[in-house]
Structure 1
Amino acid sequence: MRPLSFKRLISLRAFISVAASITLVSTAGAGCSDADGGDPGPGAQDGGGDATAVAYGPLGEVAGLPVDGQLHIDHLAAPVDVVRDKDGRPHIYASSVADAMRVQGYLVAQDRTLQLELVRRNAAGRVAELFGSLDASTIDADIAMRTIGLARVAKAEYDALPPGEDRDMLDAYADGVTQVFQGIRSGKIALPRGVLLVPPEAFTDWTGADSLAVGKLQSYLLSYDATTPIRLSTVLTAAQSKFVAAASNPLFAKRAGFERDFVRFAPSAPAFTTTGYPGAPSALASHARPAAKGANNATNGNTAKNTKNATAAPRAGTEGGARTVTSPLLDAADGYLQAARKVQDAYAPSGFGSNNWAVSAARSTTGHPLIASDPHLALRAPATFWPVSVHVGANAGAAALSFAGVAFPGVPGILLGHNDKVAWGATVAYYQVTDVYSETLSADGRSVSFGAGTVPLQTIDEIIGVGGGSTYTYHVQVVPQHGPLLPNIQNHRVVDPNPATGALSVRWTGLDPTKNFSAVVKLLRASSVDGARAALNDFAVGAQNWMIGDSAGNILWTSHARVPTRDPRAFAWNAATYTGRLPCFVLPGNGGAEWTGNLADDLVPWAKNPPAGYLATANNDPIGDTADNDPSNGKLPDGTPMYLSALYDIGFREARIKSLIESHKGPLSPTDMAAIQADVRSSLGAALTPRILQAIDLAEAERTQPGTHPDLGAIVQDRSYDPALIAAARSILQAWDTEAGYQAASGIDPDTNQPLSDQGATAQAIAARASQATLIFNVWLVRMLERTFGDEFEQLGLNIPFGVMKIKSLLHLFATEPSKLATLDPTTRDSSIWDDMNTAAVESRNERIVRALLDAFAWLTPNAGTDLRKARWGAYHTVQFTSLISLFGSLSIPPSGDTTFPNGFPRSGDLFVVDASDYEREYPIGTPPRFQYTSGPVQRFVADLDPAGIRASNALPGGAVWDTQSPHHRDQAELWRRNQTHPVPYALPDLVANKESRTVVLSP
C-alpha cells in the first residue's frame, strides 16, 4: 500500500480544533509513570474530562486515528504527532527534523530511562559514581573506559561539528532527554518499578556529546580488541618456549609444533562473501596519523602533559622476528583486560556475531529485493535496540525525511532499518583495527624507545568518582605514536609500570575523532544503494558489513571503515614455522610495525548486484584471505601486500546461509527469509557426530573382541563404561542425522515448559528425539575440549578462555591427514595432542572421544536421569533476558523467580547455528557445564523493497518499554522466543489499522 505524502497529510485539516472530551494517554505506555501511572512528563497537560478542545499535529484529522491525549514539552516549533502502534513502537510525525529529534529523545527517555543513564555512564567510565561503594569492580571498569577515553573523543567530535543538521539533531535529541531527566530530578516523573539504589539526582542533563559517546561505545564494543593479541601471544610464547623438540621432557618434545595445530586462522567452513579485493584502480590512501597526534593528547580537548615528542626512523634491526612477550608484562595487563571484559559482556559478550543477506529481485517471489538482518549481541532487558519511526515533511528548503527501524537508546535517528527507498542491515566485519605494542620504557618510566631515540609519554588526568563523594585521580599514560598504556590495576588503583618489565600500549582507529554519526544521518536520506554506499564512506570505526537494497531493484554490500595499512614488516610471517610477526599478536613498539595510512575507499571489500543474485555475510572472512591459513600473504589488485585481519568467524553460519539460499527451490519469499533466520541445523554436530559413532563402534568391537583395538582396551574395561548406555547414545545420535538432519531442537513446549513426547512420527516427536541427541552431543563437546586441550594448557600454565580456537583446532585435528599435522607422533601415527600428559598411558583420539562421552554420562545421569530418552536439550539450553543491573531481577524477562520458567525460556540451537544461541564452552571436568545463552539475535528484520512502499517485519528480544507495568515490556519477547515476527506499519493506512494510541505533543 502506497504511503500518503506528507503534503497530503498536512492538507487533512491539520492544526484545527474540535470540541471533544479526551483522556490523556501517556506516550510511553506505562514507562516512566508515577505511582498513579498518570504523568507522562514535565509540562504535560492533564487532558482529563475538563478538556474542551483537541489540538491536531501534522497528521490532522485522519479517519480511524482520533487523538487520545496531549503532551506538553518545551522548545517545539510546531505540534508533533506520536502514534504508538499495538507493538509499542512510536511513530513520530513532525514538521522539522529538530522537532522530531526532540520528541524522539523525550520518548526514549521515558521508555528506556535507566538504560540511557547506564549506557552513558559505561561509555564515559562513570558507573562507580553510583555503585562503587557496593561493587568495587565498577572502579576497575571505569579505569578501563577512561583509558580508552570514549567521552574525550566524543567531545572532540562534537566540538568539531559545524552548524547544521547533524549538530541540530544531537542538540534537539539531548534537549528531549534532558526534559525527562529534569522531571525525574524534580519528582514529577518516577523511575520504573523495580529500579533501586539510583537516586534521581543521578539523571543529569544530556548533551550532544553524550550521544556521540554512546555511539562510540557501540563502535568500541564491536571493533576494539586488545584481548585477542595478548591471548594469542601468550599461547604462542608459552608453546614455543616449552613444547620444543629439544625439551628434556619427552612429553614436551613430542608436542613441538603445538601452536601450529592449535592457533588456526583458516575457517572451519570455507565460505566467503566474495573472492579477493574489489578490482578498483584506486591507489592506497595516505592518511597516516602523525606520531605526535592522537585522540588521547591535546587534540581531544584535554590538557596532556609531557607533549614533547621525538619522531624518529625505526632503528636498524628492529624489523626482526616476533616480540617475545613476558609473563610479567601480560600479568600486569590482566586486571585491565578483566575490567574491559566486564563492560563488553554487558552489551556484546564473547561469541557475538550477526547474519545478514540480500537476494535480488530475480530470486524473490515478490519481484523486489529482500533484505534480512539479525545482529547478535547481549540478550538483556531492556533489548539492545529501541524501535521508532520518524516522518518529517519538507519545509523551509529542507528535504522531507522518513525512516523506520531500530535505534541505540541515546543516539538520534536509527542505525538499522529503512527509509522510503532503501533498507539495510549490518554485521560486524571483524577487520583488525586494534594493534597492541610491547613498549620499552626508560629507566625513569617516563619515555618509550622508538626508532633511534625515545618519545616522552603524555598523561591525561581523569577524576573518577567512587561513591559517597570520594574521588580517585587516574593518570592515563599515552604513547603518542600508538595510544594509551594498558594500566596495571591492583586493588582498584593503577600501579605505575615497572620500567624493567615495560608496558603494553594499544592503537585503535577509534582513538581519533570520526564522522560516524554524520555517515548514518546521510544513510537515512539515501535514495539508492549507491547513495547509501557513498554515505557510509564516512563511517570510520566499528566496521560493519552493511547489506543494502533499494526499491529500484539493486542489492549492495559494503564494509567500509578506516582499515589501517601497515608497514609490511608488521605482517612478515612464516606460515610454515609460525615465526615472524602478525598484527594479531603483540607487536614491537620501537618501530618497524607501524601504521602507514588507510585502505582506499574503493578497496575496502564491497560488491553490487552479483551474478549469483544474492549476497551474504556472517562475520566471515569476506574475501578468502585466510583460506590457506596464512593471513599475511594477501595482495591488493596491484600486487601490494595487504593484511586485513587474521581471525573471523568459524564459517558455519555463512556456509549454511549460502547453502539454504542456493538450494532453495524457486524464488524466496519474505517468509523464507525469516525461516533461514530461524534455522538451527547444528553444523558442528554434523561435522563431529560421525566421529563419535565411529569411536563407539570401535570401542564396542574391542569390548566384544578384545585386542582388535588395543588403544581402547582400558576404557572399555572402565567401571563407568556401560554398554547399554553406550548403545542408547549411539542410537539417539544416529537418528539425529537420519530423521532430523542434525536439527538442534529444544524438545520442550514453549508454553508449559514441559518435555515434548518422543513417541510417534509427528514433527514434535522427531524434535523431542533430536533434542536428546543435541543434549548428548553438546555435553560431550564441552568435555571433549577439556579432554583434548586441558592437559596442554595446564602444562603451559595457561588459564585463559579460548573456546572458539579450541573448537577450530579440534576440527583441524579431525579433518587433517595425521601425517600433515605439526604434532604428529611417529609412534602412534597421530597427533600427540590426543595423549593425556597427566597419565602414564598413551591415549588415542578414539579413546578421548569415548572418555568424553563417559564424562557426558557422568553429568547427564544425575541431571537428566539414566534414561537418555527422557533428556531434553531445552531443559538446559535456555535464555533469560537479564536486567542490565543484576539487582533488578524483577525487570528481567522472564523475571527472577518466575514459576513457569525459573531458568529462562527453553530454546533450540547450539554453537554456530544461524539462529545464534552460543553458550560458554570451557569447563574443567569437575565443574558442571551451563548451556544458557551468552548472546543472540537482537532483532529479526526482513524487508521487501517494494517501490509502492517498503514492507518490513521484525521482533525484538523484549519490548519497547523497560517497565514491568507496561504491556510493551515483554510483548515482542513472546514472538522472538517462538521465532515469530510482526509486520511493522510504515504507510499511514497500515499505522491506522495498527494504532494503539495517538498523542499530540505541544509546547506550553
Structure 2
Amino acid sequence: MTYKAYCLMPLLLGAVLLGCSDPDSTPPLAVGPLGDRADLPVDARIRIDGLSAPVDIVRDDQGRPHIYASTLADAMRAEGYMVALDRTVQLDLFRRHALGTTAKYFATINPAAINQDIGLRTVGVNRIAAAQYASIQDPQAKALLEAYADGITQAFRRLRSGEIPLPAGITNYPLEALVDWTAIDSLAVARLRIYQLSNQGTAETFYTNLFADLGKTFPTDSPDPSITKRAGMIQDLWLLAPRERVYTSSSTPQSPSPKPGPPKPPANARERLPASSDAFFRILTEFNERLSPDGFGSNTWAISPSRSATGHVLLASDPHLGLGAPSTFWPVALHVGATGEGLHVSGVAFPGVPGITLGHNEHIGWGSAVAGYDVTDVYTEELTPDGKAVMWKGAPVPLEFVEEIIEVQGSEPIVYKLPIVPHHGPIAPTIENGKILPIDPAAGAVSVRWTGHAATHDLEALFTLMLAKSVDEARTSLERFEVGAQSWVVGDTTGNILWTSHARVPKRAPGALSWDPTTGTGNLPCLALPGDGTAEWEDDIPGDMMPWGKNPENGYIIAANNDSWGGTDDGDPTNDKFSDGTPAYLGCEFDIGFRASRIKTLLEGAKAPVTPEDMATYQGDARSNLGARLAPFLVEAITRGEAERATPGTHPDLTAVVADPAFAPDRVAAIKAVLQQWGTEADYLAAAGIDQDTGEMLSDAEGAPKVVEARAARATLIFNVWLIRLLRRTFGDEYVRAGREEGIPRAMQLDGILHLVEDDHASFATLDPATSDSALWDDIDTPAVESRHERALRSLLDAIAWLDKNATESKAVWGAHHKVTFAPLTPMWIEMHIPSALDPVFKTGFPRHGDLLAVDASDFTTSWALDDSPNFTYAVGAAQRFVMDLDPTGPRSWNAIPGGNVWDPASPHFRDGADLWRRNQTRAVPFRVEDVVAAKESRHVLSTQ
C-alpha cells in the first residue's frame, strides 16, 4: 500500500487523521497497548502532545472509540481529542451556553443570545465551575480534568488552523470561537447538565404565579357563584400524590393513602411574584425547553439473578432527554491496564465531561433516573428603601455584588453588577431588550437558592464510580455526588442490585413546611417562600437517611422519576419524618407513576425468567397507559349519547350535543367500536401503523400481516386527538380567563383530568352541589351547564372534524402524525437533520409508536387552543436504550442512541444509531478485546512521535 493510500483509507471510513506518518520514510514507530497484531493493523497515526506512551483508538463498526492507554491521564487526553473530532460544535455551544458567552459570536444572527447569557450568568454556572476547580484537593482528579481539556484543545487548535475541516453541513460557524478548552469548561458543562435536571427555580415561580392568577380570577368571595365554584381549581389540578403508587423502595409507604371525605375548602389567593422577575424566568424556561422540550424523565431498573434467565443481574437504562442532533450522549470505552486490573469501562459520556456517565466496568453496571428531590427555593425579598440590602430576621443584610462582563458581537460589552443575597443567592434581574434595569426597591425582588451554587465533587464521584468493584463500593462513591439528585440503580457480577439517591437535600425550617393540602394554604418549598428568615435551610438531611435499598425481596428495583419512598402517598409531602424526627420532605413533584407501574407489571407478569431481550422489549413498551384509563370513559360517553339520541330525555345533559349535525350516529358508533377493539385485541397498544422500511401505512384489512397493529394505530390517533381537545374543553375556559392563554403544564392537565374522571366526587375542591360533580366540566363562557359526558362528546366532535381535515386515508394512523426528527443545534444546518428533507422515505420525520406516559417515552405538547391544530411531533425520548447482563466472566451489553456517534454527514456513523433506535433495536457493544477486534473498523495510534 502506498503512503498516500495508507493515510487516505481511514478518511474514507469517516475518521479524521493528523500527522499521518509515512512508514517507508520513518523508523518503525511504537504501537499502543494492543501491540502488533495481524488481525488489528494500524490504519494511521495521530500526533498528540503530552502522552506518556502511545494510545490505541479502535473505532468499532458502530463508530464507538475504544481507547486503550497505559495511564488514566493518557486515556483522558485521548478521550478529549476524540470527542472534539466527533462532536466539535456541540462541545463549543454547550460550553458557551454554560459560561454565558454565546452573544460574543452569535448575537448578530441570534439577538436572544444576549438575554440567554444574562440569564445563565445570573444562575452562575461560570462562577460555580471556577469555585469547583479551585476546591479540588485530589491532584490526580485535577490532572485528569486537565488532560481531558488538553485533548480537546489540541483538536480545536487544528480545527482553527484548518488542518481539520468542520463537517460540510456546518456553515457560518466562526473557527475563532473554538478557543482552547479548560478544565473549568468541563466543570461548567457538567454543572449546566445538573442545573437542567435539578434546579426547580423556574417551576416554582410558575406554580406560584399560577396559584396567584387562579386565586385572583376565581376568589372565594365573588358574588358570582360560577366564580366561587372554581376557587379550588388549583387543588384539583395539582394533587401532589402519585396516581400509581409504585415506589422505588420496597418498604411500606410512609403515609396512609387518602380517603374520600367532605369536599375540600377552596384555597386562599396567593401573591404573584414581582413582575420584575418575569423576563428572567421566561428566558431560563425558553432555554431549558430548547434543550429539552416538555421536560425530562428516565426509566432505569434492575432484576436479581432469581428473576433472570441468564442467572446474572440484568439492568436497563433509558434516560429521557432532548432528541436533537447530535445525540445527547457519546458512546465510548476506556481501557487502562491489563484485564482484571486498572480501569475497563464502557458506556456513554456527556460530550465535554470526561469519563463515562452511564455504563459498566468489569464488575458493576449502572444507570440512573432523575430523583426529583427539591434542592431549590425561590424567596420573595423585601428590599431596604435604598435597594442595597434585604430585610432578614428583622434586620437589613447588605447585598453582595459580582461583576459579570458579557461580550456582545458588534456591540459594547454589558457590564452587569449581579446582586446576591448572601444567605439565599442571586436576585432575578429585570431584563428588557437585552438590558438590565436597576433594582426597584418598592417592587421587591426574588432570589433563588440552589444546592448547585456550592462547589461540589460530582465529577470526582463519577471517577471513583468507574473503578468500583461492587454495589457497596458504588454506593460509597456516589456519596460524593451531591447535586443533581439521581436514583442510581447498580448491579454487580456477584448478583447484587442496589439503588441509592444520595444528594445534598436541605432540611427546611418548620416555617417552610406549613402546607395544608386540604386547603392549599401555608408554605410549601415547591412554591415561593418568604425571604424574611422564617423558611430557611437549617442544614442538609443526613446522608445516611437518604432513601436507598439493596437486594429487595421482590427481586427488582425500578426508578422512573416516581416518588422513591412514598413521602407523597397521602398528598402531603411535608408531614413525614425520619426515624430521628428530622423532617423528611424530599420534594413534591414526581412522576405520577404510570411508567413505573407498567414496568412492574411487565416484570411480575413475565411467564418465564427474564432475558436481556425481554429487558429491551420492555424499554420499547408502547402501551397507552392513558388510553387504558380514559378510552373507556369516552366509550361510556358515546353509549350515553347513543341512548339520548335513541330516546330523547334519557340523558338530558347530552341533548344539545347529540342534536349537533356533526354527531353522525354511524360514524360515532364506528369510533366506539374501534376504541373497544383497541382494548380487547391490542391492550391499548399505541401503534404507529407505518411500515418502518417503506413508510407506507399498514393495512387493516382482515388477513393483512399486521392488521391488529394497523387497527390499533387508527384508535391511537382518534384517542389522542380527542384527548387534546378534552383537556382544552375542560380546563381552557378557566386558564384563558386567568390570563394563561399558553396553557398549563402537561403533567398538571393529565393528572387533573384523571382526577376528575376517576376519583370520588367528594374529593373535588371544585364540587358543584347542584350537579354533584366538578364545576370544571362546565364551560364558564356559556349559559348552559355542561357535564363530563357532554365535554367528552363535544371533544369527540372536535376530533372528528380534525380527522376529516387532517387524517385522510393515507394519514389515518398515529404514525403519520406522531413523528420525531433529530434537528441540529441551529436550524440553518439543513444537512445535519436526521432524517433530512432529502430522505427518500421519511422526509418529515420518523413515524413512532407510543404516546403520553408510555414506557417508551414519546411525549408531545398538549396545550393547543381549539382553533389550533395539535402537533404530535415529539422531541424528548430515550437518549439511549442500554441493557446489561452482568456476567461474572465479563459483562455483556446492548445499546442504541438516537442519532450517530460522529456528527458529520460524510461519516457512516452520522445516523446509523438513529436507524436502530427508531425501530427499537439495539446492537451488542463489544467490550472484551477479542470482541472489539472482531468489530473493528479502524485502528489509530496516538503518540507524541
Residue matched to 1:106: 81
Deviation at 1:174, TM superposition (A): 0.7
Q: 1:21–1:48: 8 Å Cα contact kept in structure 2?
A: no
Matches within 5 A, 1:598-997: 598-761=540-703, 764-800=706-742, 801-865=744-808, 871-997=812-938
Residue matched to 1:474: 416
Q: 2:896–2:923: 8 Å Cα contact kept in structure 1?
A: yes
Q: What SS class does the counterpart of residue 414 from structure 2 fall into?
A: strand
Residue matched to 1:167: 142
Residue matched to 2:257: none
Deviation at 1:27, TM superposition (A): 6.9
Residue matched to 1:373: 317
Corresponding residue to 1:345 among 247, 269, 289: 289
Shift in alpha-carbon separation, 1:827–1:519, aligned structure 2, 3 A: same
Deviation at 1:26, TM superposition (A): 7.8
Q: 2:821–2:875: 8 Å Cα contact kept in structure 1?
A: no
Corresponding residue to 1:128 among 95, 103, 123: 103
Distance 2:353 2:582 in 1: 39
Distance 2:783 2:13 in 1: 66
1:40 paired to 2:4: no
Shift in alpha-carbon separation, 1:531–1:253, aligned structure 2, 3 A: same
Residue matched to 1:311: none
Shift in alpha-carbon separation, 1:663–1:194, aligned structure 2, 3 A: same
Q: 2:253–2:567: 8 Å Cα contact kept in structure 1?
A: no
Q: 1:20–1:51: 8 Å Cα contact kept in structure 2?
A: no
Q: 1:247–1:253: 8 Å Cα contact kept in structure 2?
A: yes
Residue matched to 1:519: 461
Q: 1:955–1:982: 8 Å Cα contact kept in structure 2?
A: yes
Distance 1:84 1:824 in 2: 63
Shift in alpha-carbon separation, 1:727–1:698, aligned structure 2, 3 A: same
Residue matched to 1:158: 133
1:26-83 deviation line (CA, Å, top 9, x unaligned): 878766x7xxxxx623xx1244776774542111123411211111111111111111
Which ranges of structure 2 fall in alignment gaps of 5 or more residues? Answer: 255-265
Q: 1:375–1:937: 8 Å Cα contact kept in structure 2?
A: yes
1:975-998 deviation line (CA, Å, top 9, x unaligned): 000000000000011111111111
Residue matched to 1:382: 326
Distance 1:456 1:20 in 2: 70
Residue matched to 1:69: 44
Q: 2:54–2:944: 8 Å Cα contact kept in structure 1?
A: yes
Q: 1:954–1:984: 8 Å Cα contact kept in structure 2?
A: yes
RMSD: 2.2
1:118 paired to 2:93: yes
Corresponding residue to 2:7 among 24, 29, 48: 24
Deviation at 1:499, TM superposition (A): 1.6
1:216-272 deviation line (CA, Å, top 9, x unaligned): 111001001112211221222233344244211221022232222121101122211
Deviation at 1:383, TM superposition (A): 0.5
Shift in alpha-carbon separation, 1:95–1:588, aligned structure 2, 3 A: same
Corresponding residue to 2:389 among 441, 447, 461: 447
Q: 1:476–1:484: 8 Å Cα contact kept in structure 2?
A: yes
Structure 1 counterpart of 2:616, one-letter code: A
Distance 1:30 1:492 in 2: 45
Structure 1 counterpart of 2:226, one-letter code: L
Q: 2:215–2:269: 8 Å Cα contact kept in structure 1?
A: no
Q: 1:546–1:559: 8 Å Cα contact kept in structure 2?
A: yes
Residue matched to 2:248: 273
Q: 1:363–1:667: 8 Å Cα contact kept in structure 2?
A: yes
Deviating more after overlay: 485-494 vs 109-118: 485-494
1:110-138 deviation line (CA, Å, top 9, x unaligned): 01000110110011011111211111111
Q: What SS class does the counterpart of residue 573 from structure 1 fall into?
A: coil
Shift in alpha-carbon separation, 1:575–1:670, aligned structure 2, 3 A: same
Q: 1:148–1:484: 8 Å Cα contact kept in structure 2?
A: yes
Corresponding residue to 1:205 among 180, 202, 217: 180
User: What TM-score results when the alignment is normalised by the length of structure 2?
Assistant: 0.96
Residue matched to 1:189: 164
Distance 1:422 1:624 in 2: 28
Distance 1:358 1:668 in 2: 11
Deviation at 1:503, TM superposition (A): 1.1
Size of the alignment, in residue pairs? Answer: 933
Residue matched to 1:580: 522
Structure 1 counterpart of 2:165, one-letter code: A
Distance 1:454 1:667 in 2: 65
Structure 2 counterpart of 1:751, one-letter code: D
Structure 2 counterpart of 1:368, one-letter code: H
Deviation at 1:411, TM superposition (A): 1.0
Q: Percent identity?
A: 49
Q: 1:541–1:562: 8 Å Cα contact kept in structure 2?
A: yes
Distance 2:13 2:285 in 1: 34
Shift in alpha-carbon separation, 1:759–1:278, aligned structure 2, 3 A: closer
Distance 2:452 2:312 in 1: 37
Q: 2:598–2:855: 8 Å Cα contact kept in structure 1?
A: yes
Q: What SS class does the counterpart of residue 481 from structure 1 fall into?
A: coil
1:354 paired to 2:298: yes
Deviation at 1:900, TM superposition (A): 2.1
Q: What SS class does the counterpart of residue 404 from structure 2 fall into?
A: strand
User: What TM-score results when the alignment is normalised by the length of structure 1?
Assistant: 0.90
Structure 2 counterpart of 1:941, one-letter code: F
Structure 2 counterpart of 1:929, one-letter code: P
Deviating more after overlay: 460-469 vs 68-77: 460-469
Residue matched to 2:402: 460
Residue matched to 1:148: 123
Shift in alpha-carbon separation, 1:29–1:119, aligned structure 2, 3 A: farther
Q: 2:300–2:317: 8 Å Cα contact kept in structure 1?
A: yes
Shift in alpha-carbon separation, 1:322–1:701, aligned structure 2, 3 A: closer
Q: What SS class does the counterpart of residue 417 from structure 1 fall into?
A: strand
Deviating more after overlay: 52-61 vs 118-127: 52-61
Q: 1:22–1:48: 8 Å Cα contact kept in structure 2?
A: no
Distance 1:251 1:776 in 2: 32
Q: 2:811–2:817: 8 Å Cα contact kept in structure 1?
A: no
Q: What SS class does the counterpart of residue 442 from structure 2 fall into?
A: coil
Residue matched to 1:288: none
Structure 1 counterpart of 2:547, one-letter code: P
Residue matched to 2:280: 336
Shift in alpha-carbon separation, 1:955–1:330, aligned structure 2, 3 A: farther
Shift in alpha-carbon separation, 1:436–1:922, aligned structure 2, 3 A: same
Q: 1:277–1:637: 8 Å Cα contact kept in structure 2?
A: no
Q: What SS class does the counterpart of residue 66 from structure 2 fall into?
A: strand
1:555 paired to 2:497: yes
